[in-house]
Amino acid sequence: MKFDHIHIGEVIKDEVKRQGVSFASFGESIGIQRQNVNKKIFSQKSLNTDLLIEISEKLGCNFFDFFQSGEKCNQKGLHGEVRATLTVEFGEKKQDRAFRFLFGENDIQIVDNKINDNTGLK
């Protein structure tokens, strides 16, 4: 079995950018302050497996696949993608959300990214 040597931090950074997630939001989602994301994630050639699992779950991308196939996230079996920005209202409170709908062979993946939250909603 052959494994590709990859820089997992750079792969994760590319995926965060591709999904349009801010580095601050990404860091917050995994419990790392924005100013530490580059040092603790993006500049690392390897990561703890528990952390890589958490990142994979948060971004909806199995980064472990990169070590064997080198394929990019969400591209295997991807048939289409739709992006939409919606304003979600809860009474008087409003929140903009960016959604990506990824259409695969047998499934639809929905990625929800918070854009603007000055409402206190989570």
State pLDDT tens for residues 7-37.
Answer: 899 999 999 998 889 999 999 999 999 899 9
Please give the residue that has the higher pLDDT: either 118 or 4. Answer: 4
Q: Both 85 and 47 in a single domain?
A: no
Q: Rounded to 5 degrees, what are φ and ψ at 64?
A: -65, -30
How far is residue 31 from each of residues 24, 28, 52, 65, 81, measured CA to CA in Å? Answer: 10, 5, 13, 24, 29
The answer to whether residue 1 is domain-embedded is no
Please give the DSSP secondary-structure letter assigned to residue 97. E
Range of the domain at 47: 8-68
Least confident of 13-22, 57-66, 75-84, 92-101: 75-84
Q: Both 16 and 45 in a single domain?
A: yes
Q: What is the mean pLDDT of residues 91-110?
A: 72
The reported pLDDT for the residue numbered 60 is 85
What distance in Å separates the CA atoms of residue 36 and residue 102, rounded to the nearest whole number?
Answer: 30
The answer to whether residue 27 is domain-embedded is yes
Q: Both 64 and 87 in a single domain?
A: no
The answer to whether residue 41 is domain-embedded is yes
Q: Both 19 and 44 in a single domain?
A: yes
Percent of the chain with pLDDT over 90: 33
pLDDT grade for 97, boundaries at 50, 70 and 90: confident
Q: Both 51 and 91 in a single domain?
A: no
pLDDT grade for 117, boundaries at 50, 70 and 90: very low
Q: Both 61 and 89 in a single domain?
A: no
Question: Which amino acid is it at 95?
Answer: Q
Q: Where are the extended beta strands (E) located within the chain?
A: 80-90, 93-103, 108-116
CB 60 within 8 A of CB 18: no
Q: Both 60 and 93 in a single domain?
A: no
The answer to whether residue 74 is domain-embedded is no
The total number of structural domains in the chain stands at 2
